[in-house]
Amino acid sequence: MGIAERPFTGRRLLVLGAGTAGTMVVNKLRPRLSRDEWEITIVDQSEEHHYQPGYLFVPFGAYRPDEIVKPRRRLIDRGVRQVTGTIDRVDTDARVAHLEDGTALPYDQLVVATGTHPNPDETPGLGEPDAKERGVHSFYTLADATALRDALERFDGGRLVVNLIDLPIKCPVAPLEFAFLAEAWLRERGLREQTELTYVTPLDGAFTKPLAARELGGMFDERGIGLEADFMLERIDLDEKMLVSYDEREVPFDLLVTVPLNMGAPYVGRSGLGDDLDHVKVDKHTFLADGHDDVFALGDAANLPTSKAGSVAHFAVDVFVDNFLRHIEGLPMQESFDGHANCFIESGDGKAMLLDFNYDTEPLLGSFPLPEIGPLKLLGESEFNHWGKLAFRWIYWHVLLPGRPLPLSTSMSMLGKQRPGEPAPATDRDPQEVVL
């Protein structure tokens, strides 16, 4: 009540969601906007901030749950007003966000940063209350990752199936990493020989992009991980314990680790801002929501055709901040986001590989130059990459969220990348021919 009525004569920036993107954006903007002219408010339904990349390691006991959770309040600049509540809808005509508890938050500029979330209820079988007891698990929430840790503790061999139901998902490499880490973990436990490990995906290979799919496919072969591609899941049969596809293929499991359909926050759809999956439709270079000049979406909440990942949110926020400062002065936005993504892939046995790509350039082999630290190997495994990934948790809390600069270019660079030489030039193939 009182919040909305507090007298304030300046302009209001309202940020919905205090995850990676929302936290970074308020922490970067607060020092650059005068407190007399701009009030900044951030809303989140949770008092906690989770380091989501850590979920992947919880099932293997590598992180305890308390190592990846911090109170939200301390992570946000003290000059930013924090509101706890669930968003009901945004009235973009009246420029007001309504919370479920009745609070109304007016704004002059709105940033939607409420992410994307697993929706098990969208898949028959997955949303059943006893799914976990029947061996159906996931690791996309802390509660799920912790339950999976307990299930792995009890696992004594059989059919372990790793699956993603549909794209887009946040951290699209996470299910691959899970498969690699599980394979190494099974070997350590002496369970590898009595376990059949299968990766089931709706994609036509291990990954979307050709070169990465080829490299990753090779890593599956080396590790004896089966690949079941083009698998469009229709339902999970909990009685027979198997995945059933629309074209009636069946994959039985003893333990299933799946990634539920990811969707944006429900209020996005109710507010007329969303696509079919409640991700905000935005300009992919400026993040301005379609049909609005006072609504932006950042991070996983936006329907950008690139990875939904913290690295993308980080690069996107850098572009956004400079653009936003111009936009509120009535000037054209000059910076253009290129879709830059940068992802470590844990490959097991203390090694990791690194992907670096954007809207136009697929992940390539080579090395990734990192000032003062040295080059990281791209699309190949190394122990150094693994340590890079682990060090990232510290960087996340202490550099990224506070909005301090990282020595990484916002736009993707071709420095160190090898252009693919091996695939046959496209012009060699007969244009009449189609491979489907």
Partner 1 sequence: MPVATMLGREIHVDEEGFLTDPSEWDEELAKQLATNIGLELTDRHFEAIRFAREDQAAQGETPTLRRMQTVGGFPTKELFGLFPKKPAKKLSYVAGLQKPVGCV
Please tell me whether residue 360 binds partner 1 under the rule CB under 8 A: no
- Candidates 68-76, 113-121, 305-313, 403-411; binding stretch for partner 1 (CB under 8 A): 305-313
Please tell me whether residue 307 binds partner 1 under the rule CB under 8 A: yes
In the beta sheet, which residues pair with residue 223? none
Please tell me whether residue 9 binds partner 1 under the rule CB under 8 A: no
Q: Is 361 exposed, middle or buried (0-12, 13-18, 19+ CB in 10 A)?
A: middle
Q: Which of 203, 321, 325, 406 binds partner 1 (CB under 8 A)?
A: 203
* DSSP track, 321-370: HHHHHHHTTTPPP-------EEEEEEEETTEEEEEEE-SS----SEEE--
Question: Strand, coil or helix: what is 65?
Answer: helix
Closest by Cα among 287, 173, 279, 269 to 219: 173
Q: Which of 88, 108, 166, 349 binds partner 1 (CB under 8 A)?
A: 166
Rounded to a whole number of angstroms, the minimum distance from the CB of residue 97 to partner 1 is 26
Please tell me whether residue 306 binds partner 1 under the rule CB under 8 A: yes
CB 19 within 8 A of CB 115: yes
Rounded to a whole number of angstroms, the minimum distance from the CB of residue 426 to partner 1 is 4
Closest by Cα among 167, 201, 197 to 179: 197
239-258: contacts with partner 1 (CB under 8 A): 246-247
Q: Is 322 exposed, middle or buried (0-12, 13-18, 19+ CB in 10 A)?
A: middle
Please tell me whether residue 237 binds partner 1 under the rule CB under 8 A: no
Please tell me whether residue 435 binds partner 1 under the rule CB under 8 A: yes
Nearer to partner 1, 56 or 186 (CB): 56
Closest by Cα among 74, 1, 90, 83 to 40: 83
Nearer to partner 1, 9 or 432 (CB): 432
- Candidates 140-148, 330-338, 398-406, 425-433; binding stretch for partner 1 (CB under 8 A): 425-433
CA distances for 40 relative to 34, 160, 287, angstroms: 10, 47, 19
Strands annotated E in 92-246: 96-99, 104-106, 109-112, 116-118, 136-137, 158-164, 195-200, 226-228, 233-237, 242-245
- Candidates 125-133, 205-213, 292-300, 322-330; binding stretch for partner 1 (CB under 8 A): 205-213
Please tell me whether residue 421 binds partner 1 under the rule CB under 8 A: no
Please tell me whether residue 427 binds partner 1 under the rule CB under 8 A: yes
CB 68 within 8 A of CB 16: no
- Candidates 84-92, 154-162, 202-210, 404-412; binding stretch for partner 1 (CB under 8 A): 202-210
- Candidates 11-19, 56-64, 184-192, 423-431; binding stretch for partner 1 (CB under 8 A): 423-431
Please tell me whether residue 283 binds partner 1 under the rule CB under 8 A: no
The footprint of partner 1 (CB under 8 A) covers: 166-168, 172, 203-204, 207-209, 230, 232, 234, 246-247, 276-277, 305-307, 341, 357, 426-427, 429, 431-436
